[in-house]
Amino acid sequence: MCIISIQAFSEDLIVTKSDKSIKAKIEEVSDEEIKYREADNLTGPIFILKTSEITTIVFENGSVKNYQIGSTASQSAEKETELYPIKKVGGHLECNGKKISGTEFLTLTQNNCPEAFDLRNKGRNQFGAGSTLAICGVALSIAGLCVQDQVYQLAFLGVSLPCLITSLPLIACGAHKMDKAVGVYNKSCAKATPTSEIRFNVKSNGVSLSYNF
């Protein structure tokens, strides 16, 4: 049961121009449109979406495809050349005073900071796998409590415990790598934020004022 859950985690992510995120399994990609099934209904109908309505696709292997047309592309390129530092505020990321998602961080770093992109992507995959195992372990534990037969209870417990134990280092390691990716980006790729300060210097002959920038 745990193995099935891990396989279900692999999915593509489609981000539209209306900021809608679609978890999907992409069946076909062309210059004009993509065909996909919903991630939670892989045997369901195939949907078609025009590429003109899409900004980004993050494939299950971590690769990212951007769709930009005309002036929007040039504006996006100009913005991406301005690599502002990113900071973690609470549970989200902020860049130049604006909240950004993990997907947007991957899109930003894919071409501009490959080292941070690889690290963030590996961390995300590890964190996702750990979370899936944890959910699987909890579900099996609850199922074990619901059955009356002691043999089945022990069987459920025997499967759930390894899932839970394995999930903890994966979640911790994945979270650490995702946080570290932000540090790598800020140190190696982001432009330095100019700082300025005013200093008062007290000397024997009076007080001086200096402005450093």
d(CA 209, CA 213): 14
So where are the chain's domains? Answer: 11-68, 84-190
Model-level pTM?
Answer: 0.55
Average pLDDT of the chain, as a whole number: 80
Say if residue 19's pLDDT is above 90. Answer: no
Tens of pLDDT, residue by residue over 145-195, are: 888 888 888 888 888 899 999 999 999 999 999 999 999 998 888 876 555
Tens of pLDDT, residue by residue over 33-88, are: 999 999 888 898 999 999 889 988 988 887 888 876 544 444 444 444 468 889 88
DSSP assignment of the chain equals -HHHHHHHH--EEEEETTS-EEEEEEEEE-SSEEEEEETT-TTSPPEEEEGGGEEEEE-TTS-EEE---HHHHHHHHHHHHS---EEEETTEEEETTEEE-HHHHHHHHHHH-HHHHHHHHHHHHHHHHHHHHHHHHHHHHHHHHH---HHHHHHHHHHHHHHHHHHHHHHHHHHHHHHHHHHHHHHHTSPPPP--EEEEEEETTEEEEEEE-
* Domain 11-68 part of CATH 2.40.50: no
Q: How much is the pLDDT for 8?
A: 42
Q: How much is the pLDDT for 72?
A: 44
